[in-house]
Amino acid sequence: MGIRLKIPTNHVRSESLKIREKLIKGEESNVVAKAGLIAHGRGEAFDYLLGEITIPPALFAARAAAASLLLASHPVISVNGNSAALVPDGLVALSREIPADLEVNLFYRSRKREDAVKAALKSAGARAILGVGRDANAVIPELFSERRKVDPQGIYSADVVLVPLEDGDRTQALKKLGKFVITIDLNPLSRTAQTADITIVDNLIRAAPNILASVKEMKTLDKTDLKLICDRYDNKKNLSETMLYIRERLRQLSRDN
């Protein structure tokens, strides 16, 4: 156990430091992989460019994601170490509200980590959790070793999959399997962001509650209205708007200097 950092509440980066602490604790309890800490750093850099807020294209994507999840016949939320450490309550609440299955899906898979992620979801109130141990006995073609394992009751038979913070190879493999892929990724340039059907360029910490709020709001809409929301969404266009937003923000900041 490392030395714990005491974060003053008035520290200018107190929120971001608290998030880092969550991930460090997660790493110590096997929920987060060491590489997950590095991936978080990459995410933080992009969050800086966004101004650490939910920008309009991210809100638009979150609404399209909610509509797609509500329209799905078998939606699954894929949970990796970082998401289990950062927003376990949010993902469990979302899975209940849609409703959708929760599946443990790890890049660096080991029984110890699967159990740790499962425990984190359980303490957030999850009941059924797929993808642990022998349950993950289906394979995603074209991927190697432990990365290919999924649950036949979950991701393998899903039509819509929400994969926060996924890597590019697996996103491409899921697309080839015919899945409709929704991702949350702060990097609009990542292969995952570019390949998914819906990319929410936002911090998972902000995106999870936004999707949940949209699901709650749209739950009473009929299928035709939900379909309209999905049809109006164009991921390439939304990613372009995200990049233009960053460009404009940097332009304004450079003027103020």
What is the contact surface with ligand ATP in residues (CB under 6 A)? 39-40, 42-43, 46, 82, 86, 165, 167-168, 184-187, 190-192, 203-204
Please report how close the Cβ of residue 5 comes to ligand ATP at its closest, in angstroms. 19
Closer to ligand ATP by Cβ: residue 46 or 180: 46
CA distance 95 to 87: 12
**How many helices, marked H, and strands, marked E, lie in the chain?**
11, 7
Closer to ligand ATP by Cβ: residue 131 or 164: 164
CA distance 244 to 33: 33
Closer to ligand ATP by Cβ: residue 116 or 184: 184
Show the tokens assigned to 155: 């991701």
Closer to ligand ATP by Cβ: residue 130 or 165: 165
DSSP helix/strand/coil, 48: helix
Please report how close the Cβ of residue 235 comes to ligand ATP at its closest, in angstroms. 14
Please report how close the Cβ of residue 44 comes to ligand ATP at its closest, in angstroms. 7
Closer to ligand ATP by Cβ: residue 169 or 241: 169
Please report how close the Cβ of residue 40 comes to ligand ATP at its closest, in angstroms. 5
Distant-in-sequence, close-in-space partners of 183: CB < 8 Å, separation ≥ 6: 162, 163, 164, 165, 166, 171, 192, 193, 196, 198, 199, 200
Name 199's bridge partners: 183
Name 84's bridge partners: none
Please report how close the Cβ of residue 128 comes to ligand ATP at its closest, in angstroms. 25
Closer to ligand ATP by Cβ: residue 76 or 174: 174
Q: Which residue is nearest to ligand ATP (CB)?
A: 43
Backbone torsions φ then ψ of 158, nearest 5 degrees? -75, 155
Please report how close the Cβ of residue 188 comes to ligand ATP at its closest, in angstroms. 9
Helices (H), 124-234: 168-176, 191-195, 204-218, 223-231
